[in-house]
Amino acid sequence: MKRLISAILPAVLVWMVLASDSVHAQTLKKVKLTMPVVALSMTPVYLAQAKGYFAEEGLDVEMITTAGGGPDIKALIAGEADFTFTPGDNVILAYQEGKRLVMVMTGLYRLFINWAIHKDVAKARGITETTPLAEKLKALKGLTVGATQPGALTAHLAAFVIRKAGYVPQEDVKIIPIGAGPTWLAALENRKVDVALTATPVPETAISRGFALMFINNAKGEDPSIPEFLMENLITRPEIVEKNPDLVRRMVRALVKANKWALGSAPEQVAEALKPSLGARTSPEVFLAGVKSTLPTLSPDGRTSERSVQITQDVLEVAGILKKRVAYSEIVNNDFLPR
């Protein structure tokens, strides 16, 4: 009998472990999360997945990318997603159209969208990476700027910068959509556009391939008028906040854990964790440089500040997009942050 038990016991233990894993997988709460692009600006989400923080919170998160801002927020408004991780300007613009959304966590609190200019255009305009910002902006007249999508943050920032330079968007400087990632790179390389902007490390990839120069480095704070910004926020609908606060709390907790881990780790460790999701098409050197640029933009506590809301509205106002300013309390809820 003892021999029989000894033979059977290991198999029973293995079955119990597998059964436990199966039950755990079945009990994970399925969540749909939209994101505008596959880029380092999505670092908190990809780290929460890679480090198992979503699973620790009992969540099975389906991440859906939309090749630029716009469709991501529309899916949330339509009830096709539970959350979106996207720039908070979307919340402000949705509110002025009568659609209320709520920011429940800030992932990145500094502007993380850089501009690259085709090297031939830069040469013709006498622009280098060290040219003062005001001179760079004046050189935009007559050029075509590539943004990811109409209505995306890249398009809003393009309009902001063009107006800041004293020009009229679509009259003095054209803005056209060129998508994200590979299509963005192809458009700039093939001179479909003269200048383009998107999240790191895509502009840096264009530079590393030799056909572009850095035009505006927002990740390094080249534009001092934007010290804070609603760069990437976890956003949901008011009814989810009211009816399922525990789900909101678990999502927020997972993303804050991801940021805390990243801020307490070496850049090389963060790059290694992100590599399967974000680093496959980028050289290791460029990717690591992008990660090093990302880390200072991560929010250590997830809090959405009143200053970031005001500055984001300033940008939208200058861009000619904002109709009416929104009160901070109407679109921000910090109550779900870990205490």
pLDDT in tens, the chain (339 residues): 555 455 555 554 445 444 444 444 458 999 999 999 888 999 999 999 999 999 999 999 999 999 777 889 999 999 999 999 999 999 999 999 999 999 999 999 999 899 999 999 999 999 999 999 999 999 999 999 999 999 889 999 999 999 999 999 999 999 999 998 899 999 999 999 999 999 888 999 999 999 999 999 998 889 999 999 999 999 999 999 999 999 999 999 999 999 999 999 999 999 999 999 987 778 899 899 999 999 999 999 999 999 999 999 999 999 999 999 999 999 999 999 998
Phi first, then psi: give them for residue 98, nearest 5 degrees: 85, 15
Q: Tell the residue number behind the tokens 């085709």, with chain if given.
A: 118
Predicted pLDDT at 151: 87
pLDDT given for residue 280 in this prediction: 75
Any idea what DSSP says for residue 332?
B
Phi, psi of 60 (to 5 degrees): -115, 100
pLDDT number for residue 14:
46
Give residue 1's pLDDT: 52
- Residue 161 pLDDT: 97
Instruction: Tell me how crowded residue 181 is: count the other CB atoms within 10 A of its CB.
Output: 18
Closest CA to 112 of 293, 303, 311: 293
Q: In sequence order, what DSSP letters do the residues of 163-225 get, joined into one string?
A: HHTT--BTTTBEEEE--STHHHHHHHHTTS-SEEEEETTHHHHHHHTTSEEEEE-GGGT-STT
Tokens 């943004």, located at residue = 147
Sheet holding 212-216, edge to edge: 174-177, 144-147, 195-199, 113-118, 212-216
User: 76: closest CA among 94, 89, 58?
Assistant: 94
Asked if 57 contacts 27 with a C-beta cutoff of 8 angstroms, the reply is no
Q: Could you tell me the pTM of the whole model?
A: 0.85
Cis peptide bond prior to 132, omega within 30° of 0? no
pLDDT at 283: 86
Terminal Cα-to-Cα distance of the chain (whole angstroms): 55
Non-local CB neighbours of 237 within 8 Å, separated by 6+ positions: 76, 77, 79, 100, 101, 102
pLDDT at residue number 278: 87
Domains and CATH numbers, the chain: 25-107+229-331 (3.40.190.10), 113-220 (3.40.190.10)
Contact present, 294 and 200 (Cβ < 8 Å): yes
47: DSSP letter: H
